[in-house]
Amino acid sequence: MRRQTVILTLLLIGGMLIPQAALAWAQLPSVSLVSLIVELWPEYDRSSMLVIYRGRLADEVTLPITVELRIPADAGGPTAVAVANERGELLNAPYETEPVGDWLLIRATMDQPAFQVEYYAPLERQGDERRYTFTWPGDYPIQEMVLVFKEPLSATNVTLTPPFPEAAPGPEGVTIHRWQVGSLQADETLQVTVAYQKPDDRLTISAMPPPVQSEPVAGPSSSTPSSQRISVRSILGAALIGVAVILIVVGGIWWVWTQRTMATAAPSPPPRPRRSSRGRRRKAPALPRTSVSDQGGGFCHQCGTPLAVEDRFCPRCGTRAKPLDQRVS
């Protein structure tokens, strides 16, 4: 009974740990961004739109973590995926890509809160007119989002929809437009359309020195698929599941072993008496009875009842029998 109680207790604890572990696993903190700056640089160093993400993960996000960002499929892939260390140096981050409909999913491993992603997207061209529509697909919640548009060299009739409220000359001699969007929820999309006229194909970088930027330091190859990174809470969830499975397995093994032990220790039934050829039991031969008086034990001195030699008390009156040599013959 005691063994069964212990086994049932182990199974009960294991059964209780599994849903708790599953809940802990399900409640892993999702990725959220403190800030995201999206910069749009048309015809800067290529005849296309350079899109730059400069983001920062929220403080409660446990590092390292895998971040998934979608970019347009016609971009062909990112040209840079990096994280910034404490000194602001950009380090290549391992990533992999996966086509998802009209999007290309970037799955990158971030071991620093600040990151940068760059890609080029084609412009719509019709004569001197250029047009591009940027869409943020709402991959993560953002506490503060900012959009920046840098006019290309010799561009005219620039229109932004919706309009950017701020515009000022930049250090490169071109006008920079800025829109502080604010917070966005997960799955909340944002779309901006840019249109301008440009009479030539000169690139901005050809007419002025490029801005000083920190080039990514050689790190893990960007073509290497990102390995699965496990946070502290995911380790806890896996540990709870492991403990629960161990308890259930140990309880099951102990149960089987106990049943076998009890079966081995159980007494075998007494052998059945052999039957005669007629199928009847043989009666044990009756032993000859010997009278008490023939045994030489004398008689009780109190009531006169015959005594056996080994009697210490009278079987009738209970009087203590005298020694054998003092009994009445």
Please name the residue that has the structure tokens 């561009």.
155
Angle at 312 (CA atoms; ends 306, 313), nearest 5 degrees: 65
Per the domain annotation, does 265 fall within a domain? no
Question: Going edge to edge, which strands form the sheet with 103-110?
Answer: 65-72, 103-110, 95-100
> Mind listing the pLDDT tens digit for each residue in 118-145?
999 999 999 999 999 999 999 999 999 9
Instruction: Assess whether 170 and 299 both reside in one domain.
Output: no
Packing angle of the helix pair 232-265, 2-26 (nearest 10 deg): 160
Per the domain annotation, does 274 fall within a domain? no
Identify whether the C-beta of residue 106 lies closer than 8 Å to the C-beta of residue 95: yes
Instruction: Assess whether 183 and 301 both reside in one domain.
Output: no
- Helices marked H in the chain: 2-26, 204-207, 232-265
Instruction: Assess whether 136 and 206 both reside in one domain.
Output: yes
Decide: residue 30, CB within 10 A, 0-12 exposed, 13-18 middle, 19+ buried. Answer: exposed
How far apart CA 36 and CA 29 sit, in angstroms, is: 19
How far apart CA 84 and CA 110 sit, in angstroms, is: 10
Residue closest to 33 by CA, chosen among 141, 184, 183: 141
Instruction: Assess whether 63 and 209 both reside in one domain.
Output: yes
Per-residue pLDDT band at 40 (split at 50, 70, 90): very high
Instruction: Assess whether 219 and 303 both reside in one domain.
Output: no
- Residue 40: which H helix or E strand, with range? strand 33-42
Instruction: Assess whether 300 and 211 both reside in one domain.
Output: no
Question: What's the mean per-residue pLDDT of the chain?
Answer: 81
> Mind listing the pLDDT tens digit for each residue in 211-270?
555 555 554 433 333 333 334 445 556 666 777 778 787 777 877 777 777 666 555 555
Domain count, the chain: 2
Per-residue pLDDT band at 24 (split at 50, 70, 90): very low
Per the domain annotation, does 181 fall within a domain? yes
Instruction: Assess whether 185 and 303 both reside in one domain.
Output: no
Query: Can you tell me the mean pLDDT for 59-70?
Result: 96
Instruction: Assess whether 54 and 201 both reside in one domain.
Output: yes
How is residue 201 annotated by DSSP? Answer: -
Domain finish residue from 198, 230, 262? 230
Question: Going edge to edge, which strands form the sheet with 129-136?
Answer: 124-126, 129-136, 190-197, 156-161
Q: 94 preceded by cis ω (within 30°)?
A: no
Structural domain span for residue 132: 31-230
Instruction: Assess whether 54 and 196 both reside in one domain.
Output: yes
Single pTM value for the model: 0.59
**pLDDT for 23 beyond 50:** no
Instruction: Assess whether 304 and 225 both reside in one domain.
Output: no
